[in-house]
């Protein structure tokens, strides 16, 4: 399989006036949380930081969570079965 290289402009091009206005409008918008995007507690953030450092990754997968906290997933499996 051939290797493909992508080159990005260095430095990136400056933002357009439209992009600047869009970013300015987003700064004043409140955050909206729901069941798919709940607020993060300090304990949860500390767990994620610990796992990212332990596994030297920026992405915590379900497999990592299952290896570290199997009791959390056992509870869900019994609820789904019952």
pLDDT value at 79 more than 80: no
Across residues 5-32, what is the average pLDDT?
Answer: 87
Does residue 82 lie in a domain region? yes
Does residue 12 lie in a domain region? no
Does residue 3 lie in a domain region? no
Does residue 63 lie in a domain region? yes
Across residues 48-60, what is the average pLDDT?
Answer: 92
Report if pTM > 0.85: no
The whole domain housing 46 covers 40-82
pLDDT at 18: 97
pLDDT value at 52 more than 60: yes
Indicate the number of domains in the chain: 1
pLDDT at 34: 86
Does residue 55 lie in a domain region? yes
pLDDT at 13: 84
Does residue 61 lie in a domain region? yes
pLDDT at 17: 97
Does residue 62 lie in a domain region? yes
CA dihedral 30→32→38→39, nearest 10 degrees, is 10
User: Do 33 and 39 contact (CB within 8 A), yes or no?
Assistant: yes
Across residues 19-27, what is the average pLDDT?
Answer: 92
Does residue 56 lie in a domain region? yes
């Amino acid at each position: 399989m051939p290797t493909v290289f992508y080159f990005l402009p260095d430095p990136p091009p400056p933002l357009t006036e439209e992009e600047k206005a869009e970013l300015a409008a987003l700064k004043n918008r409140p955050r909206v949380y729901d069941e798919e995007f709940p607020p993060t507690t300090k304990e949860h953030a500390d767990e994620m930081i610990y796992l990212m450092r332990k596994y030297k990754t920026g992405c915590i997968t379900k497999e990592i969570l299952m290896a570290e906290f199997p009791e959390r997933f056992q509870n869900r499996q019994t609820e789904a079965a019952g």
